[in-house]
Amino acid sequence: MSRRGWVLFLAMAVIWGIPYLLIRVAVRQLDPGVLVFSRTAPVAVLLLPLVVARGQLSMLLRNFKWIATFAVIEFGVPWFFMATAERHITSSLTSLLICCVPLFAVVAHRLAGRHEQVSRRRYFGLTVGALGVLMLVGLDLSGGSLTWIGMMLIVCLGYTIGPMILAHKLDHVPGVAVVAGATAIVAVGWTPWTVVHWPAHVSAETINSVLVLSIVCTAGAFLVFFQLVKEVGSTRSVVVTYVNTGIAVVLGVLGLNEPLTIGIAIGFPLVLIGSIYATSGVTPDDVVYAENSAAT
């Protein structure tokens, strides 16, 4: 990757390493659907006036169909399932399961017939990362977690398709317009649910968690992520999930006293090695390999 790509990549790793802990804190008091609304509504209120001021509202409306599709696939459904899962499994396990996204991305691109260049090094990294996730799940998974693991795999699917929509359908739309429109659509969709399920009491800790989730981890994060997708491609961009996992695990252990399990101790180093190789450069031999693979 270029120097700019690495800066964007590391920024995303930090910003998206934080949400798992904050979600775990927020769902102690908030219903998962209420949390989705609370994450998206402030962003929409913040960004929509900016979209209007920049004269981008017409572009938002012209691309409404794909922005709405992106909203549901990236925000509306995955965030509800993730918040629900985090009521039952640790934030560390949740973040580690998200490491399936890069593998899903490679498969999805092949099924869609879009052969974004994937070198032997990157295939090796993706494979090692997947092995790390399998070690984690095999050593830490209990029977009662199967439902929540299934929900997280649906989240991974959404996180796989979302960047593809950005890269191939919304690459000409300013990131601010996409985020503003997507968050507004999700917030409106979850409003009736929120009215019915709003809690009687919300602590300052919960409010602060939601504000950081909304402003930093949603508005700020996706504006940076759009630039990352444009810089390094949709397949490579989702490899950021490998790195933010490490941050999420550390925060879970230190901030929430979550156990440092055998699965994490064995699986995470493999995930980290996979991250390094999956984001590596391409050699001439790798180019030949990728072209031959695309032809098969």
Q: What is the model's pLDDT at position 137?
A: 60
What band does 284 get if pLDDT is binned at 50, 70 and 90? very low
Q: Where are the domains of the chain?
A: 3-295
Amino acid at 108: A
Q: Are 219 and 45 in contact (CB under 8 A)?
A: no
- Spatial distance between the Cα atoms of 205 and 69, rounded to a whole number of angstroms: 32
Residue 176 structure tokens: 């601010």
Quick check: 137 and 263 in contact, CB under 8 A? yes
Determine what percent of the chain is predicted with pLDDT higher than 70. Answer: 78
Range with the poorest average pLDDT among 31-40, 105-114, 186-195: 105-114
Q: What mean pLDDT do residues 130-144 have? A: 63
Lowest mean pLDDT among 10-14, 66-70, 101-105, 290-294: 290-294
Q: Which residue has the higher pLDDT, 198 or 274?
A: 198
**Averaged pLDDT of the chain:** 80
pLDDT of 64-96, one tens digit each?
999 999 999 999 999 999 999 989 888 777 877
Which of the pair, 7 or 78, is modelled with greater confidence?
A: 78
Which of the 8 DSSP states describes residue 214?
I
Share of the chain above pLDDT 90, in %: 36
Enter the tokens of residue 81: 């399932």
